[in-house]
Amino acid sequence: MIEKEDCKTLEEYCEKAIQYYKDQGYSHTPLHAQLLFYQQNDVNTLEEAIKWDLYGEYSDWYKDTNGFRPRFNFREYSIEELKKMIDDQYDAYCRQKKAEQKSEQKNWKKYRQRIIQDAEYFGISLKQKVEEDIRQSGVAYGDSGQVDLGYYCFKYSLPSCKKYIIARVLKQKLKYEYGDALVHVEPV
């Protein structure tokens, strides 16, 4: 792989990158190896290209943490400043993920307690209570009875992995379709 830092100019990087992809048997050259791609985006020097890459990485971490992409002129920052911003944003992302996991575990505990208590109170099985809860959650696909347990867990801020336990309580196997983890819950 060709690194921008190992080249003296953007043109040199693109030439080496194009040759690298040809040598690897690629039938086309990826955009990030084409000089025209950079020129069309007003990135004209190797330093700007490196900063642009760092800005893109920072933007990805920022979006994963905050839900939207930041907008700023990356050219106003040094490469070192951008790398530091990435490190700081990655740390913020890790702290947020840790807090989310802790919250999801707490929500799972509350969810389990609620389902068990309600099932015992109404004298119904856990399966019936979970089905009832799913029906009331509004996550079913119309009247089809199809339910995405991944979305159900997301809606209640439950750990995504708990969809497998919920499916077992429902005595069903998850059916994956277009990225959804589906089960069937008969509509009332």
- The Cα 134–Cα 132 span in angstroms is 5
Angle between helices 46-66 and 10-23 (to 10 degrees): 70
Q: What is the pLDDT of residues 141-166, one digit of tens each?
A: 988 999 999 999 999 999 999 999 99
Domain regions of the chain by residue span = 4-95, 99-184
Mean pLDDT, rounded, for 123-130: 96
Question: Residue 179 to residues 66, 145, 150, 176: CA-CA distances in angstroms?
Answer: 24, 17, 9, 6
Residue 45: DSSP 8-state = S
- The Cα 54–Cα 80 span in angstroms is 10
Residue 23, token pair as written in the block: 């040598």
Residue 142's pLDDT is: 85
Residue 114, token pair as written in the block: 């609620």
Q: What is the pLDDT of residues 12-31, one digit of tens each?
A: 999 999 999 999 999 898 98
Q: What is the pLDDT of residues 47-94, one digit of tens each?
A: 999 999 999 999 999 999 999 999 999 999 999 999 999 999 999 999
Tell me: pLDDT of 2 over 90.
Answer: no
Residue type present at position 132 = E
